[in-house]
A and B are shown apart, each in its own frame.
Chain A
């Protein structure tokens, strides 16, 4: 998992339990590894692009912390540009499925 992908997973996660967060991160990491190569390549390219943009926002003082990133991701998920919307949608789906199913499995 690339550094910005980890940031996205952390921002989208809702659990305060560190063990759950780590398990979700491992689940997302495994899912990314299992992806078709071309899809993974596309996601990685987007990660680099979006990650660079977010770094620039941070350097410019226009984005601070995980909550700001989460709000930015919420905006991207309603983007008219399909690849932007689907990028967030995919990570959110993985995080939600992982969080909720891991909670269920633990209980």
Chain B
């Protein structure tokens, strides 16, 4: 077994891990980052394409939380993590949620004001901006429909920088924080999966890893570390801790944003290369309406949710775009590492209120799309029915059942909640895992609940805050 030594081992290189690595390396710490996935040139694949799915998605995007109904979910598995595959939408954690979580979980130095400070730092560094030009047709449709109905809507900022010609580049972690960490002296080891952490007397002494070489050969690698920060995301962070024998309040309370979709056919062509940046916020915080990736393959899949006969609508696929309604779920799930298996078992239980809210979301999404001029709506409900006017939407209420509804999500949280209330959290207010002096979590697992919005901003702000505390105390 090969061995190496480092001061701080960061496991994972997504929004939490890359920020952690950059902050600590720039503060002069010796940092090593291990990433299970490959290091992929961010310009190599078209966004949301089949090639990108193969290269950057964990399990090629074929994962699901078991339950009634099962909920498909997607995560990145590459240097930069899910920031490489998401839409780049940026939204600060709502102030009321920061205050709620501070009170409910007794989180120190947490709340709207401190988080705003860290969020501002992240925004300055990454470049967070709105479109310099008019929105594309798929996004303008949401704005038009919501405005016609008198509903609040907003163009979300994105983690994008634009050149003089208005061309945007998503500021993923592989373009921003990872290079910063490397420039400050951090080592990044891609294709390196952590099998388990070694522990001794309340401390973690290092990690046992399996490194895959370009020729497919594998070698075991032991990395001894003074401090270990786990940033493998809300599914694989708890799974790794459990594999390492750490189980108290780890992997329980999984939260997510279950999502229903509609493929909407317009009478004119819409764009397909980007994700709409407008969101309907009329029903915040429990229901958000927005747009999804809408390449030809996504449209075909979305149409088939309602009806297997998609030949006729696919003839005008260029007029179709996919939209979603996502809820803040009252339900919860679990992550359980299974001995001998690489992937953990993930379960999620939706409440009746969740199902009702999903039906409500589907109908509201239909309303805004019809108001925007859509002529046919294909819901992600088996057997549809396809809606062409408001009366048709009423039929969706009864169809949106556990047996008929196809759900997915890309936002997962809360499996190692932070806070000083030890009875309900897996880590302290700054992400230190209980009963361990030198083991930390610094990713979406720490969020005590669903953020209601894209969580990247919250994850990066909280990771920055936790690093500041780490540097001040260690």
A residues near B (Cβ < 8 Å) are 14, 27, 30-31, 34-39, 74, 77-78, 80, 82, 85-86, 89-90, 92-94, 96-105
Query: Are the CB atoms of A96 and B304 closer together than 8 Å?
Result: yes
Q: Which residues of B contact A85 (CB under 8 A)?
A: 382, 403
Give Cα A85–Cα B299 distance, bound, in whole angstroms.
20
A96-B300, A100-B300, A103-B296 known; A14 and B311 CB under 8 Å? yes
Could you list some 22 contacts between A and B, CB below 8 A?
Answer: A30-B54, A31-B62, A34-B59, A34-B62, A36-B342, A39-B63, A39-B343, A77-B308, A82-B69, A89-B406, A92-B304, A94-B62, A96-B300, A97-B300, A97-B301, A98-B50, A99-B300, A100-B296, A100-B299, A101-B49, A101-B296, A101-B297
Does B255 lie at the interface of the complex (its beta carbon under 8 Å from any beta carbon of A)?
no
Give Cα A104–Cα B296 distance, bound, in whole angstroms.
8
Does B185 lie at the interface of the complex (its beta carbon under 8 Å from any beta carbon of A)?
no
Does B338 lie at the interface of the complex (its beta carbon under 8 Å from any beta carbon of A)?
yes
Residue in chain A with minimal CB distance to B272: A104
Give Cα A86–Cα B380 distance, bound, in whole angstroms.
13
Give Cα A80–Cα B402 distance, bound, in whole angstroms.
9
Give Cα A45–Cα B62 distance, bound, in whole angstroms.
17
Query: Are the CB atoms of A77 and B382 closer together than 8 Å?
Result: yes
How far in angstroms is the closest Cβ of chain A from B341?
A: 5
Does B68 lie at the interface of the complex (its beta carbon under 8 Å from any beta carbon of A)?
yes
A77-B382, A82-B69 known; A97 and B297 CB under 8 Å? yes
How far in angstroms is the closest Cβ of chain B from A38?
A: 6
Interface string of B162-173 (1 = CB under 8 A from A): 000000000000
Give Cα A98–Cα B60 distance, bound, in whole angstroms.
12
Give Cα A96–Cα B69 distance, bound, in whole angstroms.
22
Tell me the chain B residues, 64-107 only, with Cβ under 8 Å from chain A: 64, 68-70
How far in angstroms is the closest Cβ of chain B from A5?
A: 14
Known: A31-B62, A36-B343; 12 extra A-B contacts, CB below 8 A, are: A34-B62, A37-B341, A38-B343, A78-B383, A82-B69, A82-B403, A90-B62, A97-B300, A97-B301, A101-B295, A104-B297, A105-B51
Q: Which residues of A contact B296 (CB under 8 A)?
A: 100-101, 103-104
Query: Are the CB atoms of B50 and A101 closer together than 8 Å?
Result: yes
Query: Are the CB atoms of B406 and A39 closer together than 8 Å?
Result: no
Query: Are the CB atoms of B382 and A78 closer together than 8 Å?
Result: yes
A31-B62, A78-B382, A92-B304 known; A97 and B298 CB under 8 Å? yes
Residue in chain A with minimal CB distance to B346: A36
Does B345 lie at the interface of the complex (its beta carbon under 8 Å from any beta carbon of A)?
yes
Q: Which residues of A contact B314 (CB under 8 A)?
A: 100
Query: Are the CB atoms of A82 and B300 closer together than 8 Å?
Result: no
Query: Are the CB atoms of B406 and A104 closer together than 8 Å?
Result: no
B residues near A (Cβ < 8 Å) are 49-51, 54, 59-60, 62-64, 68-70, 295-301, 304-305, 308, 310-311, 314, 338, 341-343, 345, 382-383, 402-403, 406
Give Cα A39–Cα B60 distance, bound, in whole angstroms.
13
Give Cα A39–Cα B72 distance, bound, in whole angstroms.
12
Q: Which residues of B contact A103 (CB under 8 A)?
A: 296
Residue in chain B with minimal CB distance to A104: B296
Residue in chain A with minimal CB distance to B311: A14
Q: Which of A30, A31, A97, A99 is the most central at the interface, judged by chain B CB atoms within 10 Å of its CB?
A: A97
Give Cα A105–Cα B52 distance, bound, in whole angstroms.
12
Residue in chain B with minimal CB distance to A37: B341
Q: Which residues of A contact B311 (CB under 8 A)?
A: 14
Query: Are the CB atoms of A36 and B382 closer together than 8 Å?
Result: no
How far in angstroms is the closest Cβ of chain B from A96?
A: 4
Q: Which residues of B contact A30 (CB under 8 A)?
A: 54, 60
Which of B299, B304, B343 sits near A93, CB closer than 8 Å? Answer: B304
A34-B59, A35-B59, A101-B50 known; A80 and B300 CB under 8 Å? no
How far in angstroms is the closest Cβ of chain A from B63?
A: 6
Query: Are the CB atoms of B338 and A38 closer together than 8 Å?
Result: yes
Q: Which residues of A contact B301 (CB under 8 A)?
A: 93, 96-97
Q: Which of A38, A78, A80, A93 is the most central at the interface, judged by chain B CB atoms within 10 Å of its CB?
A: A93
Query: Are the CB atoms of B63 and A36 closer together than 8 Å?
Result: yes
Query: Are the CB atoms of B308 and A82 closer together than 8 Å?
Result: no
Residue in chain A with minimal CB distance to B383: A78
Which of A38, A82, A89, A102 sits near B341, CB closer than 8 Å? Answer: A38
Give Cα A38–Cα B382 distance, bound, in whole angstroms.
25
Query: Are the CB atoms of B60 and A34 closer together than 8 Å?
Result: yes
How far in angstroms is the closest Cβ of chain B from A6?
A: 18
